[in-house]
Amino acid sequence: MDSYENAWQGVRARIAKAASAFGRDPSAVSLLVVSKTFPVEAIKAVHRLGQREFGENYVQEAAEKRAGLAELPDLRWVLIGPLQRNKAKVAADVFDRIESVDRLAIAERLSAARRAERGPLEVLVQVNISNEVTKSGVAPDAAVRLARSVAALPGLAMRGFMGIGEPTEEVGKQREQFALLRQCLEAARAEGLPVDVLSMGMSADLEAAIAEGATEVRVGTAVFGDRRVGR
C-alpha cells in the first residue's frame, strides 16, 4: 500500500510545479483524490500520507466506504458523479460537498434533506464545458443563473463550479474549456455571489486547469493507477 506514496507525492509535485509555472501559490490548489472503485484500504493508505478529501462517483459506494472508515472522522467525502433525484436524501447525509449539482430540483432536495446539525452542505454547480463528452452539467450561459438560485437555499453553501474537460492532448483546447469555467466564477463573483472554488483538471490535464485558475484538481488514476472494470 505504501506504493501509493510515490504516486501521491508525484501528483503534489505536479500541482506545485504547475502553480509556480503560472505564477500561482501552490497552496491555493487543493488535491481531491478520486477513490471511486478503490477499496477502503487504499483510502486508508493515502490518508496516512496526509490526504483528507476523497471524491466518489456513486452514493451507495461512498456510503459504504464512509461507514467502513468511521474510525477516520477527519475524512471529507465529495460527490463528483451524477446525482439522481431519488438518491438526494442519502447523499445530503453522506457527503461534505457535492460538485455535480446541475439542476435546481436536485439542489432543493439536497437543501431540504440536509440535517441542520451538519451545517450547510457545500455544493458546486457542474457546468458542461466540453459540450460533448458528457451530458451532465448546465450550459455555461445558464450556470450563473443556477448558482444564484442555489445560493438562496438555506441548507446549502454555494461554493463554486465544477467541470470536466474533453479528453484531448491539445493543451490549447484544454485551456479553452477550463477558461469557460473560470468565466462562470468571475461572472458569479461580479454578481456578488460568495463563490471561491473552481474544481477542474484530472490526471491528464491538471496543468492546463491550474493555468486557468483551478482551486481544486480531481485526481484518481495518477494516484491509484488504472481503475479495473468490475473492481
Nearer to ligand PLP (CB atom), residue 7 or residue 104: 7
**Where does this chain touch ligand PLP (CB under 6 A) — which range of 58-66, 70-78, 186-194, 219-227?**
219-227
Q: How far is the CB of 32 from ligand PLP (least distance, A)?
A: 8
Classify residue 74 by burial, with Cβ atoms within 10 Å: 0-12, 13-18, 19+: exposed
Restricting to residues 181-200, name those near ligand PLP by CB under 6 A.
Answer: none
Choosing from 30, 130, 168, 203, the residue that interacts with ligand PLP (CB under 6 A) is 203
Dist CA 60 CA 158 (whole Å): 24
C-alpha cell at position 135 = 451530458
**Where does this chain touch ligand PLP (CB under 6 A) — which range of 85-93, 113-121, 168-176, 218-226?**
218-226
Task: Report if residue 156 touches ligand PLP, rule: CB under 6 A.
Answer: no
Q: Are the C-beta atoms of 111 and 91 separated by less than 8 Å?
A: no
Q: What DSSP element (H or E) covers 97? A: strand 97-101
Calculate the CA 189 to chain-centre distance.
Answer: 19
Which residue's Cβ lies closest to ligand PLP? 220
Task: Report if residue 79 touches ligand PLP, rule: CB under 6 A.
Answer: no
